[in-house]
């Protein structure tokens, strides 16, 4: 008796082609999430020393952009939480 293994091809899923390109919209919360991801990755040591400069510069730019573009009510709450008062 000879055992023959059958070579069965496993069907591979076909990639779905998008019908049209979608417009990508980013919200302020998406940018806040990016800032949080950088904070967590940095705390866990995910970056090598040679990468820290670009990570830090990017983090600072994101932070400044968020401060400049957040709704006024959130800006007041953040400033107060950081020890600033409205009379400063």
Residue 77 is predicted with a pLDDT of: 60
Residue 70 is predicted with a pLDDT of: 83
Domain boundaries, the chain: 48-83
Predicted confidence (pLDDT) per residue in 48-70, tens digit: 999 999 999 999 999 999 999 98
Going by C-alpha positions, the residue among 67, 62, 64, 68 that lies closest to residue 39 is: 62
Report how far apart the first and last C-alpha atoms of the chain are (Å, whole number).
92
Residue 78 is predicted with a pLDDT of: 58
């Amino acid at each position: 008796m000879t055992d023959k293994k059958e070579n069965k091809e496993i069907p591979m899923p076909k990639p779905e082609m998008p019908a049209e390109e979608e417009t990508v919209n980013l919200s302020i919360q998406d940018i806040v999430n990016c800032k949080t991801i950088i904070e967590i990755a940095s705390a866990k040591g995910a970056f090598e020393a040679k990468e820290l400069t670009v990570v830090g510069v990017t983090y600072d730019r994101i932070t400044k952009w968020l401060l400049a573009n957040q709704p006024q009510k959130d800006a007041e709450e953040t400033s107060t939480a950081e020890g600033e008062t409205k009379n400063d």
